[in-house]
Amino acid sequence: MKRIIIITLAIILSVYKSGIAQTYIQVFNVKTPNNSTVQDTYSLSSSDFSFTQTQLEALEEEIYWNYNGARLLEAPSLKYNCHGYAWHVSEGGEKVWIGYDYVTTEDIYWTDGKLY
């Protein structure tokens, strides 16, 4: 269920990412479990976007009915993507966008010597 919500948010964010101007700064404090630095990782330095309450309610309804009762845990944000959430935010790290310029950035989690 959690995976469905993350995938749904990633799709929603990818649509909005292309149409909303945002500013990111590169960060170097994101590490794999083997302490390898994850390159191409950014933190949002400009304002995040927000949905209206009506839009959030419609999104919650759509997710619930189209994804077998899944629940929206948090409003979508440009502060992080699915890779940032899965490997960093879910482990207690700050919200970051992993792989902003390169779609293979997250591969380091498989190639640094320890499957995660």
Tokens for 42, please give them. Answer: 């950014």
The residues spanned by each domain of the chain are 2-111
Query: What's the whole-model pTM score?
Result: 0.68
Residue 56 to residues 12, 24, 28, 42, 83, Cα–Cα distance (Å): 12, 25, 33, 26, 23
Instruction: Mention every residue, 6+ apart, whose C-beta is less than 8 A from residue 105.
Output: 38, 39, 40, 41, 83, 98, 99
Predicted confidence (pLDDT) per residue in 28-71, tens digit: 989 998 899 999 999 998 888 888 999 999 999 999 999 999 99
Residue 7 to residues 11, 35, 40, 56, 81, Cα–Cα distance (Å): 6, 26, 21, 17, 10
